[in-house]
């Protein structure tokens, strides 16, 4: 099968590319390198089964050309920064909704049979049921980021039912690991390098969320995709996360310990009752029972994933 990975030079995308190449797929990557880096995929650049296209998915022609001969699209291209929503909603719209629309329009006239989309736990908003299952409703995002992810899910579903391809949508918890270049662990490490005496923590530190290591994420995506191919559902949704969760303060403690520092913690107090920023979901843990029924489960807990990620980022930066 020939696979296109949009955003394949990014954090999760590049790990997915590694796994697909190791499994023998023909892989093409489309990435504008705004959030990704060629360094993440440099090991494959001269491989006969690998092709890289630098291009912006806001241009329909670029997307159309990238789909030539492709059977499966893993659509990971997006702006990954939740916090940008309050400053630049139009950028989030363009880099999530518009590019997805361009992709779907191009898929109509292509050989693509499957689209796999990485959505986000933020589509649930502040769920009243925790752990939150895939059939939770109503979906009420509290950030622009959550809103554009939900919009992308909806158009994918509409196009799949109308034009006859199959779509698999993953709602991801907080994904962490080597090559990540944003997020709480990355921020803490950089802050402590600048000032080892004090660590500023956004919010009140009690925010509690589920974290999944990128190795478990990619394993889950590929495992569930195999199961989905045998299903007769046109569109299906799976949460990918962890059974446990961890507070921001505990993450700060792990980062400090791994860096052999004892900084004073300075909590900003945050907004709207201790959130890190406007639109930050304070408590998030997804139900992963549906994913587990396919035979997948995370190898690392949230705590183990955090500790391993801190070590990986300290080694690589």
The predicted structure's pLDDT at residue 88: 83
pLDDT tier, 309 (very low <50, low <70, confident <90, very high otherwise): very high
Domains along the chain with CATH numbers:
2-175+212-240 (3.40.50.720), 177-210+243-285+294-316 (3.90.25.10)
The predicted structure's pLDDT at residue 230: 96
In this predicted structure, the answer to whether residue 204 has a pLDDT above a threshold of 90 is: yes
The predicted structure's pLDDT at residue 179: 97
Of 25, 101, 136, 145, the catalytic one is 145
- Chain centroid to Cα 17, Å, comes to 14
Looking at residues 187-201, what average pLDDT do you find? 98
**Could you write out the DSSP letters of every residue in the chain?**
-EEEEETTTSHHHHHHHHHHHHTT-EEEEEE-SSS--GGGGGGGTT-TTEEEEE--TTSHHHHHHHTTT-SEEEE--S---GGGGGT-HHHHIIIIIIHHHHHHHHHHTS---EEEEEEEGGGGBS-SSSSBPTT----B-SSHHHHHHHHHHHHHHHHHHHH--EEEEEEE-EEE-TT--SSHHHHHHHHHHH-TTEEEESS-S--EE-EEEHHHHHHHHHHHHHHHHHS--SEEEEEE--S--EEHHHHHHHHHHHTT--PEEEE---BTTTBSSTT--SEE-B--HHHHTTT---SS-HHHHHHHHHHHHHHH-
The predicted structure's pLDDT at residue 82: 65
The predicted structure's pLDDT at residue 223: 98
Looking at residues 21-34, what average pLDDT do you find? 97
145 is annotated as an active-site residue: yes
In this predicted structure, the answer to whether residue 45 has a pLDDT above a threshold of 70 is: yes
pLDDT tens digits along 61-115: 999 999 999 999 999 999 877 666 566 889 899 999 999 999 999 999 999 999 9
The predicted structure's pLDDT at residue 80: 75
**Could you write out the DSSP letters of every residue in 204-240?**
-S--EE-EEEHHHHHHHHHHHHHHHHHS--SEEEEEE
């Amino acid at each position: 099968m020939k696979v296109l990975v949009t955003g394949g030079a990014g954090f999760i995308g590049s790990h997915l590319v590694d796994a697909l190449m190791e499994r023998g797929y023909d892989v093409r990557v489309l990435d504008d390198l705004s959030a990704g880096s060629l360094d993440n995929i440099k090991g494959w650049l001269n491989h006969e089964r690998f092709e890289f296209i630098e291009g912006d998915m806001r241009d329909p022609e670029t997307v159309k050309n990238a789909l030539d001969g492709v059977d499966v699209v893993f659509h990971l291209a997006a702006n990954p920064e939740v916090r940008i929503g309050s400053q630049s909603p139009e950028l989030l719209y363009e880099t999530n909704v518009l590019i997805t629309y361009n992709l779907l329009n191009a898929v109509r006239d292509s050989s693509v049979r499957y689209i796999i989309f990485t959505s986000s736990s933020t589509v649930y908003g502040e769920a009243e049921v925790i752990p939150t299952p895939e059939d939770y409703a109503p979906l009420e995002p509290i950030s622009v980021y959550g809103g554009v992810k939900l919009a992308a899910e909806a158009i994918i579903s509409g196009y799949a039912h109308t034009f006859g391809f199959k779509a698999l949508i993953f709602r991801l918890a907080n994904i962490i690991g080597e090559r990540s270049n944003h997020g709480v662990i990355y921020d803490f490490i950089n802050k402590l390098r600048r000032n080892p005496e004090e660590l500023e923590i956004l919010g009140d530190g009690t925010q509690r969320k589920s974290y999944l290591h990128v190795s478990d994420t990619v394993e889950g995506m590929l495992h569930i995709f195999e199961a989905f191919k045998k299903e007769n559902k046109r569109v299906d949704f799976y949460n990918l996360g962890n059974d446990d969760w961890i507070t921001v303060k505990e993450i700060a403690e792990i980062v400090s310990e791994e860096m052999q520092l004892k900084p004073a913690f300075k909590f900003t107090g945050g907004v709207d009752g201790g959130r890190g920023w406007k639109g930050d979901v304070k408590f998030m843990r997804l139900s992963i029972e549906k994913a587990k029924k396919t035979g997948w489960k995370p190898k690392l807990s949230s705590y183990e994933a955090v500790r391993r990620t801190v070590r990986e980022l300290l080694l690589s930066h």
